[in-house]
Amino acid sequence: MAENNAYQNALAQYDKAVAHLKLKRGIAEYLRYPKRELTVNFPVKLDGGDVKIFTGYRVHHSTTLGPTKGGIRFHHDVTLDEVRALAMWMTWKCSLMGLPYGGAKGGVIVDPKTLSANELETLTRRYATEISILMNPKGDVPAPDVGTTPQIMAWIMDTYSMHQGFSLPAVVTGKPVEIGGSLGRIEATGRGVMFAAREAMKQINLPIENATVAVQGFGNVGSIAARAAHEMEMKVVAVTDVSGGVYNPNGLDIPALIGRFNDNRSVVGFPSADSISNDELLALKVDVLIPAALENQITSANASAVKCRVLAEGANGPTTPEADDILNDKGIFIIPDILCNGGGVVVSYLEWVQDLQSFFWEEDEINKQLERHVVNAFKRVLGEAQQRNIDNRTAAQVLAIRRVAEALMIRGIYP
């Protein structure tokens, strides 16, 4: 197995979890496969007049619990196997969080930073048109992911609505509030990460005040998690982004760092801090390490160097199965991705519900629901891990897979 193949890693995690469940062989086999996969190759007219062909994907893993839910990624390294893995993880994440969703994911092979605003809009609208044969408010509801934004979700919603002849804000989540987005959605994933981290710290009797934190990735998830940690009076000592990183053992001024990042799109060069690389950040001796970038960041090659007490997975699939074994042997408390970053899809669900009923809630109510879902899921995972004497990731997947499998058995196999 290639350790850096996200789909093979997702299948390995699945097989490990299924070994603890008494599923019929056909059910266990069925849930290993995506329900449907769409590959689209489409032209985009660039500002200079040239036409460039782009490739995109939309994968539905499961529709057993309800409509498929999952983000759209614009990144130059997108692959079909990566999208398959992310769709599968979304199925388990939605199931674990108790949501009436199956998992999906989408992506386009593109570096959005190389496109003008006009080219990005044109690409987005054309991709939305191509995948609209799968997308709809009751069947498949996309959301933002790496390289996509609320504005991109707005273009997708508008494109879909233009084809239908009337506005359908519920077709995507993560939209701007002005067109049906939910208060608290932008912050939801990062906030959820810190709710989960707080629960883990309580579990291992690690004081929250002045606890040290390192954050890999300073996009939407990482920056919000860092800000939440700062507000909880934890000490964020290191942050990296795609260009490099900064380190101060006495703690970074996170509000000022976020301001600099918003101005310069990088944390590099922040005053009163030393430079640090991604590899160095992952090896820091800190209380909480938050990988919030891409998958396959902690592998068998570097897991032995990880020295945190709590690993809070803000990203999807940041830790490979081989690395899991090493970290668990070291006694590191892993909060698995489908639990740790599930806050985003919880508030996406709340946004979808608000759009469907055209009735919106205050942010305090949203945040209470977010915290309740994350804390309850954390307790269920911890209980399952202790009862079965298994690691947290396997426990989370056992719970998630069992719910989907039970629903599948009740529904039956059509026809």
- Confirm if 123 and 115 have CB atoms less than 8 A apart: yes
Q: How far apart are CA 144 and CA 330, in angstroms?
A: 35
Question: Which residues, including other chains, have CB under 8 Å from residue 159's CB and lie 6 or more apart?
Answer: 124, 125, 128, 129, 132
Coil, strand, or helix at residue 65?
coil
- Confirm if 408 and 30 have CB atoms less than 8 A apart: yes
Enter the DSSP assignment of 304: G
- 35, 69, 105, 235: the catalytic one is 105
3-state helix, strand, coil in the chain (%, to 5): 50, 20, 35
Please report, for residues 202, 281, 358, the alpha-carbon distance to residue 237 in angstroms, rounded to integers and kept in the order given.
21, 10, 43
Q: How far apart are CA 304 and CA 330, in angstroms?
A: 8
Concatenate the DSSP letters of all residues of 74-136 into one string: EETT--HHHHHHHHHHHHHHHHHTT-S-EEEEEEEE--GGGS-HHHHHHHHHHHHHHHTTT-B
Coil, strand, or helix at residue 6?
helix
Q: How far apart are CA 158 and CA 170, in angstroms?
A: 11
- Closest-CA residue to 75 (of 115, 135, 121): 115
Per-residue burial over 22-43, b if 16 or more Cβ lie within 10 Å, else e, is ebeeebbebbeebbebbebebe
Q: Is 105 an annotated catalytic residue?
A: yes
**CA quadruple 11, 15, 18, 23: dihedral positive or negative?**
positive
Straight-line distance from the first to the last Cα atom of the chain, in angstroms, rounded to the nearest whole number: 36
Residues designated as active site = 105
